[in-house]
């Protein structure tokens, strides 16, 4: 379809049922032709790096097309308030369209918008909390990271990262978890603050760590980060095993007998090697004879991070494996420092 439409630069391709929020400025794009996503009335879903599941939310907005002889205007409206979304910049396509000058390309939009910044004097608030709840994944020590929102409708997400620095002064990124911004909400419904929960199993107890939060817009622009330095919390879970992951089958070693019927944390350093600019890959842990997996989304391109997977109830004698979905092959994966907590 892409190859076919690329032969007709004057085409405006309108898609539906894509579950994308109309508040997302990535829903219009120009390259060889123009593409507009009309979203979906029920909900939207978008992958965010490090998220344990796909973020969802209500898409309470509609798209109205105004068609003229030499241009088209797409206007977006909130169902709840009737207010126009982005009234100062309605999506406008003029004809004839020159694919050499794509107004709504990622590069052009990035050059036209200055990334939003945190408010003056803003700071991260970090505290250790003990998780509660019926699921094993909710339990254990976690770092809660609170931060103010930028207030900009162009901030897509906030990139939360954790770093450690060794004795030689080498700084290594441990974790990336992108937190969705409030761009999809009506202004009156925005809380103005966001937060991230980081499992303490990512860290060695009491090791010095640095946390940063960076506002990121729809086109790859970034504001200045907020930073916090302190010590990692202690984890109440017991280390019951280490081992190697089979690089060909991606199978974990058999879990220790003491994990049977209990919740288990699988922690691994995972290096994904693929070309820069390639889409993200979903990685998860699942029983070898079962399709379902606990998945998180990796950053696009090449990355090396620590991942924590929670198995709510381990089964004696059952083999578990890492599974993958998405991305664009070829890519390779390497495992190291596998730890099992119970």
> Does residue 278 register a pLDDT over 90?
no
Instruction: Answer for the pair 121, 151: CB distance below 8 angstroms, yes or no.
Output: no
Reported as a single tens digit per residue, the pLDDT across 1-33 is 788 888 889 999 998 777 778 898 999 999 999
Confidence of residue 140 (pLDDT cuts 50, 70, 90): confident
Residue 306 binned pLDDT confidence (cut-offs 50, 70, 90): very high
Mean pLDDT, residues 28-42 = 88
pLDDT over 60 at 292, yes or no: no
For residue range 253-273, list pLDDT tens digits in order. Answer: 888 888 888 888 899 998 988
Least confident window among 51-60, 105-114, 116-125, 187-196: 51-60
Give the pLDDT score at 247. 83
The whole-number pLDDT of residue 277 equals 67
Name every residue whose Cβ is closer than 8 Å to that of residue 175 and which is 6 or more positions away in sequence: 50, 160, 161, 162, 198, 202, 305, 306
With CA atoms as reference, report the closest residue to 282 among 313, 216, 327.
327
Q: Which two tokens stand for residue 273?
A: 């090697």
Three-class secondary structure assignment of 82-148: CCEECCCCCEEEECCCCCCCCCCCHHHHHHHCCCCCCCCCCCCEEEEEEECCCCHHHCEEEEEEEEE
Q: What pLDDT, on a 0 to 100 scale, did the predictor assign at position 101?
A: 94
Torsion region of 117: left, alpha or beta (phi above 0 gives left; psi -120 to 50 gives alpha): beta
Whether pTM exceeds 0.75: yes
Query: Does the pLDDT at position 54 exceed 70?
Result: no
């Amino acid at each position: 379809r892409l190859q076919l439409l690329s032969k007709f630069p004057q085409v405006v391709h309108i898609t539906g049922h894509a579950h994308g929020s109309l508040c997302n400025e990535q829903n219009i794009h120009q390259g060889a032709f123009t593409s507009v996503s009309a979203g979906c009335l029920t909900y939207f879903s978008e992958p965010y790096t490090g998220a344990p599941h796909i973020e969802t939310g209500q898409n309470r907005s509609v798209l109205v097309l105004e068609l003229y002889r030499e241009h088209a205007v797409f206007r977006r409206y909130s169902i709840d308030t009737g207010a126009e979304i982005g009234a100062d910049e309605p999506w406008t396509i003029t004809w004839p369209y020159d694919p050499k000058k794509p107004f709504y390309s990622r590069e052009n939009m990035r050059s036209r918008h200055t990334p939003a910044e945190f408010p003056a004097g803003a700071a991260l608030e970090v505290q250790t909390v003990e998780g509660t709840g019926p699921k094993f994944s909710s339990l254990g020590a976690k770092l809660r990271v609170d931060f103010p929102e930028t207030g900009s409708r162009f901030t897509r997400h906030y990139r939360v990262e954790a770093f450690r620095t060794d004795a030689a002064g080498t700084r290594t990124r441990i974790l990336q978890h992108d937190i969705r911004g409030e761009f999809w909400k009506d202004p009156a419904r925005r809380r103005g603050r966001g937060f991230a929960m980081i499992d303490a199993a990512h860290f060695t107890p009491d090791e010095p760590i640095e946390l940063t939060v960076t506002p990121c817009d729809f086109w790859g622009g970034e504001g200045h980060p907020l930073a916090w330095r302190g010590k990692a919390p202690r984890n109440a879970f017991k280390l019951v095993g280490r081992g190697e992951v089979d690089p060909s089958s991606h199978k974990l070693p058999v879990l220790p007998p003491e994990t049977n019927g209990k919740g288990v944390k699988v922690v691994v350093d995972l290096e994904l090697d693929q070309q820069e600019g390639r889409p993200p890959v979903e990685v998860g842990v699942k029983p070898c004879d079962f399709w379902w997996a606990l998945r998180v989304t990796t950053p696009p391109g090449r990355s090396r991070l620590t991942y924590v997977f929670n198995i709510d109830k381990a089964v004696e004698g059952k083999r578990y494996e890492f599974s993958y979905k998405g991305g664009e092959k070829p890519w390779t994966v390497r495992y190291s420092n596998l730890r099992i907590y119970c």
